[in-house]
Amino acid sequence: MKRLNQDLEWNYHEQHDWCFHTEMSQSPINIDDSLAEVMEDAGDIILNYETTIDEMVDTGFAIQGNVKGTARINGRLFHLQQFHFHAHSEHTINDQYYPLELHFVHQAQNGKNAVIGILFDIGEENPVFEQIITLMITKKQANQPIYLERLLPKNRRFYHYLGSLTTPPLTENVEWYVMPEVVSISHRQLSEITKWYDHNHRKRQPLYGRHILKKEFES
């Protein structure tokens, strides 16, 4: 797997040294369902991801897949930039952490960022996850298409709030869509990811009065 040649000026052990413009809208957060308000608009998320991953890379802080695709969120078009993993999860649901969190990072033409967060727990082996692991190890393109959308839960209800990127430069005004229904992976599959990076997660940030919205989304 390709290792990006970059000298990181930060690490997860010294998060108190991370610089950000303001701390009022940072991510991740604890999502308290009792505080979440039901969304009044349509809130549809329509995904169209390509089935070929351009490459898997080691960024120095996470395993990342570079892939193209689009997400149409409430009528607005965002382009998929990449996906990456955090162990354990960065977001919590009602103060519960999960072994792994996947972020699909999108950007609109005007520079606006939108991230879809997927939570994983231990259970049955995940066939799409296995394809990603194989690609990481062999560095070869998969013979079969990789349907990344199948990494999303069957019930695609989500929580939505405004936050930030969870790694420097910690850019704010990021639209977050965190899906609370967990997706299964096996112990072995989790260990394949954590061989590379474990504990690559940012600490939870204060909510500071931000609104959390929730939406039932039929897959």
Write down the domain spans for the chain: 20-215
114 in Cβ contact with 177 (< 8 Å): yes
Looking at the domain that runs over 20-215, which CATH code has it been given? 3.10.200.10
- The token duo for 130 is 């296995």
- The span from the CA of 198 to the CA of 57, in Å, is 16
Count of CA atoms in the C-beta half-sphere (13 A) of 75: 2
Q: Chain-centre distance of CA 66, in angstroms?
A: 13
pLDDT of the chain, 219 residues: tens digit per residue: 676 656 677 888 889 889 877 789 999 999 999 999 999 876 789 999 999 999 999 999 999 999 999 999 999 999 999 999 999 999 999 999 999 999 999 999 999 999 999 999 999 999 999 999 999 988 776 678 999 999 999 999 999 999 999 999 999 999 999 999 999 999 999 999 999 999 999 999 999 999 999 997 554
DSSP letter (8 states) at residue 96: B
- The span from the CA of 204 to the CA of 15, in Å, is 11
Residue 78 pairs in a beta bridge with 71
pLDDT at 142: 64
Rounded to 5 degrees, φ, ψ at 188 are -65, -45
pLDDT at 19: 81
SS3 35: helix
Residue 96 pairs in a beta bridge with 93
Instruction: Report how far apart, in Å, the C-alpha atoms of 111 and of each of 34, 79, 165 are.
Output: 32, 10, 13
Task: Please tell me the pTM assigned to this model.
Answer: 0.94
Residue type (1 letter), 167: T
State the angle between helix axes of 187-194 and 127-138 in degrees (0 to 180), rounded to the nearest 10.
30
The candidate with the shortest Cα–Cα distance to 167, out of 140, 197, 212, 202, is: 202
- The token duo for 132 is 């990603």
- The token duo for 196 is 């590379």
Other beta carbons within 10 angstroms of residue 50's beta carbon come to 14
